[in-house]
Amino acid sequence: MPHERSRAVIQAREFLIEISRNATLPSKIRSDAKFLLRHYPSADQVLLAGRIEEASLDSGRGLAPVLGPIFSSSTTESP
C-alpha cells in the first residue's frame, strides 16, 4: 500500500542515519550509510511525492493512473 511504502522509506532513512552516527559500528558501515543517505529522499520529499501522485490521480493526468500510486501523503492508512 502507498502509505506503508511511504512509512517504510521514511523509516529506512532514519535507520541509515542511526547507522551513520553509531560509533560502535565499523567505519566502512558508517560511511556506506552516509553514502546512501546522499541520495535518499527526506520525509518531506516522500510525502510531497505522495501529494503529487494523489493530485495526479484526482486529475487523471500523469503516470499515477496507469501505474497506481507509489507513495502517499500520509504514513497511516487513509479512512
Question: Per the domain annotation, does 20 fall within a domain?
Answer: yes
Tell me if 29 is assigned to some domain.
yes
- Give me the domain span that covers residue 8: 2-67
Q: What does the block give as the cell for 74?
A: 500520509
> Which residues have a Cβ under 8 Å from the Cβ of 15 and sit 6 or more positions away?
none
Mean model confidence pLDDT for the chain: 87
**Inside any domain, residue 30:** yes
Number of structural domains, the chain? 1
Q: Report d(CA 73, CA 7) in Å as an integer.
A: 10
Instruction: Please enumerate in sequence order all residues whose Cβ is within 8 A of that of 3, keeping only pairs 6 or more positions apart, or say none.
Output: 72, 74, 75, 76, 77, 78
Per-residue pLDDT, 60: 59
Indicate whether 6 belongs to any domain: yes
pLDDT digits over 45-75, tens only? Answer: 999 999 888 887 766 565 555 666 788 888 8
Residue 73 lies in a domain: no
Residue 35 falls inside a structural domain? yes
Residue 14 in domain = yes
Q: What is the pTM of this model?
A: 0.80
The answer to whether position 79 is within a domain reads: no
